[in-house]
Chains A and B, each alone.
Chain A
Amino acid sequence: ADIISTVEFNYSGDLLATGDKGGRVVIFQREQENKSRPHSRGEYNVYSTFQSHEPEFDYLKSLEIEEKINKIRWLPQQNAAHFLLSTNDKTIKLWKISERDKRAEGYNLKDEDGRLRDPFRITALRVPILKPMDLMVEASPRRIFANAHTYHINSISVNSDHETYLSADDLRINLWHLEITDRSFNIVDIKPANMEELTEVITAAEFHPHHCNTFVYSSSKGTIRLCDMRSSALCDRHSKFFEEPEDPSSRSFFSEIISSISDVKFSHSGRYMMTRDYLSVKVWDLNMENRPVETYQVHEYLRSKLCSLYENDCIFDKFECCWNGSDSAIMTGSYNNFFRMFDRNTRRDITLEASRESSKPRAILKPRKVCTGGKRKKDEISVDSLDFNKKILHTAWHPVENIIAVAATNNLYIFQDKIN
């Protein structure tokens, strides 16, 4: 199994897609509840697996293009088939996943194995009959959106109009129509005329869940810009600019790096957005630009270790974050296979671990605690014992129920609320 690089539930939550470093997409489907076992909730089993992207070679630059899937986004379901967008560094693909459980038999012009029948042998006409067959799930690429990004794509986001979507790389954001692959509109371009003056890059972008003219993008300097596509064709000038003033007492050489936003997500309501930087998660009210309304510390105990984390490059890890269906809770990952959940109403938070040792099937997860100094209590882990190679970067929350998917390197964990 390869390292999982993205996790995403579809709109109903029945399907869960994962993309990995090898360019593969694996889709899990929730089983229907079994009447004979009413107490067991639906489990997720593999539904479809396909190779989305292959490694490529850019001949002009003599560089490899990785096949790693950076993001998957589902389209809202409109018919029996399911559609999703998957992207690597350079190319976005629209995939159709459809089921086939019937087969036609009794063709007139060809045999059962597909060979053409000899015309002389056709003596009578018959109507082909549909016969059931074993369920087959087929994935086929329907659109390939290529050659629009010079830099590495970090985000894709489907618009609420269900017709367009955006793709963002380090310096530019493009707007696409789902039906048109040979044209895209550039809506944001922050590339300086002289690349030597480059000091800031785009790190994430997302469309507003309800207003199809609004999107946001975050930067490596910890700022978020909200843009309105009605104001001008090129949205280089933002409508709103979100930035929290820096705390001068905690300034260090690493201040900028840890302020770099790795993920931005609108709440389902569309009223708030959440940003993830290296040490914290911040919730912003779209009506207030000068500071977030809530700040949650993910692993503040790492603040004194920033130099080491800079040396081993962990400080550049890009953690994602997600909302639950009702926007009352948020979740994000950390190191040592820990992930954190924050309840916005009660202000309570919990640290859990996604590992084989600590999660037997049906067992309840035990809260974990990191000891920050002084005496280490039993069951606590000291900061120096944390395994920084076990990082949880990708998590997803079911759109309606309390089911979460957590990607721990090359393992996928699915947890749900304990059944009463």
Chain B
Amino acid sequence: MENGFSSPRNESFPAGLRVLVVDDDPTWLKILEKMLKKCSYDVTTCHLARDALTLLRERKDGYDIVISDVNMPDMDGFKLLEHVGLEMDLPVIMMSVDGETSKVMKGVQHGACDYLLKPIRMKELRNIWQHVFRKKIHEIRDIESHDSMDVLQMSINGSDLSDDGYMFGEDLNSGRKRKDYENKNDDKDFGDHSSPKKHRVVWSVDLHQKFVKAVNQIGFDNNIGHELHWTSTTFLPLRLISPFISTQQQLDLMRHIRLLQHWLLISPIFKLMAVKDLWNEAAACFIFPSNGAMTYSVCLAEVGPKKILDLMNVPWLTRENVASHLQKYRLYLSRLQKEPDSKALGGTKHSDLTPKDPAASFALQSSINLNQSDAANSYQFCGSNFLGQDVDIKHLEGDVKGIVSETKRTLTADVTSPLKTKNSQSFSHSFVHEAEVNYSAFDSTSWSENPEQEHKPLLQLEDGYSQLSPHGPHHIHNDQLQADPSISSVISLTGRDISGSIEIKPLYTEYKSKHVSHVSPAESVVDTIPVQPKSHPVIHQSFEPISTAILSMKSQGLSCITDIESCQRNLILASDTNFAAFNEDLTVWLPGDCYSMTFGQNFDFTEYNNDPGFMAELPFHLYDTFSDYHLDATECPIVDQGLFIA
């Protein structure tokens, strides 16, 4: 759907609002049609849910809102709700003569933006345009706040945070914690940060937003391949490229991604590949393998501090400030890229992960299975997540879905992408940060591989899911504590799944036993998280808290898709406590318990959290997912505030 309210189908919005009404009761259908016509809306009626879906699919941008009854013979209203949210990312209003709280709650959980009781009053219908409007606003907001979140993440993870006096908002407790740990362990990782201690620049939310705006502006201006076209390349997490593309493009991309996720869910023939982006260039595209080359690509050009400074127009800011901030931002982005992998890696233990932990499964799956042809599995997995229903992530196997359906997915996707890029075609230059790439690849596979094997995942891109070289032994790799990020990312991905607590547990345990304290970040980490687990990962798996927290994705399921972004974001935000733990642990998002881990993380899991990711929310709330893992865009928490640096 295009920017509805900005594109005036009619100047006199909400008149002309395109409503699709679905109800098996012919009497109600006729009444509603008449009522909506009286509101000057453009009404289309449907007797059957499947007809409605067909209509919606045929005319992608043909409707603004859907009103559907809950009890229908051919398809459960909630199911329809999920589909609509997932595929079309439209607001859906449920109706029923039954006002039972549990039913209403179910509706909300599945992403309904409202629940009307029959008999329905005219005034209730007159107001439905607000849902359309609100959704648009949220999408835009998510897109924008997404940037902040990312940055925030970066700040949190950067080892020089303390130096620069970065501070995080309340919701970034975990970030803080992580920061502490990181400070101790990570200095070497962030060698490239050049913020001078002497001169504290406080990157407030506003300032950062100005920064991102400038970056975007430049990126946009310099952008060569800006048009979103379909190519067969790899996939980058939307969050990485979103700063560089316009809002409309982001919305389109998100929708595409959501759709992609949905397809992945329903069809095992698609594979999602990821490619790493470069510092200076971000390329994002995703692929539909083989058959139809539905890929999406966006290229960005380089941005430099001087230009950013000029655009920002903040008198007291120096070029050095911007340069260092830019560096961090890049680190953040790169970390985001890697993290998906690492998170995914965490998934190697997916066997351990109990399916019931959707979040976990996603994470793991994505990382692990990407390579495998678990596609089927993953698809399954995704599917369930997508539907938000109870995210039953069976296992991350091929969590492709996770990637898809969850905002996080994108993260993982990213991770692998670097790897892939190597092999893939399009971004030959994208391996600029190969190290990072490896790192990220590593991350994802870290769980399962040894540092030396880092490169393996890369190679695997070919298949599309190199992300984590799942094939590797699933053992936790010491050096690659980096896996944490992946885990976190993984988790964040799964965040979507509110129902499941991430069961990363097994991973950690294993991790613990295997690599108790050996962390040699140096090799693998390019700049990412120095895996130095200071202490044994005690992370005991209780990812649960995190997953739940993070995942506040709300079971929105489909609607989540839209919220997926938000979910992602929320993921991060939600699990503040978790985050903290996470940082330490390196890998996994682990729930609050993670605090005990001290691995180093630098993984910015905040990022992940905030990273709406490509999740679709199932629903193609792409944006939502990006911004917060909440499935519900409206629910995205805090993300924006994250950036505050005191």
Chains A and B bind each other:
no
Interface residues of A (CB under 8 A from B): none
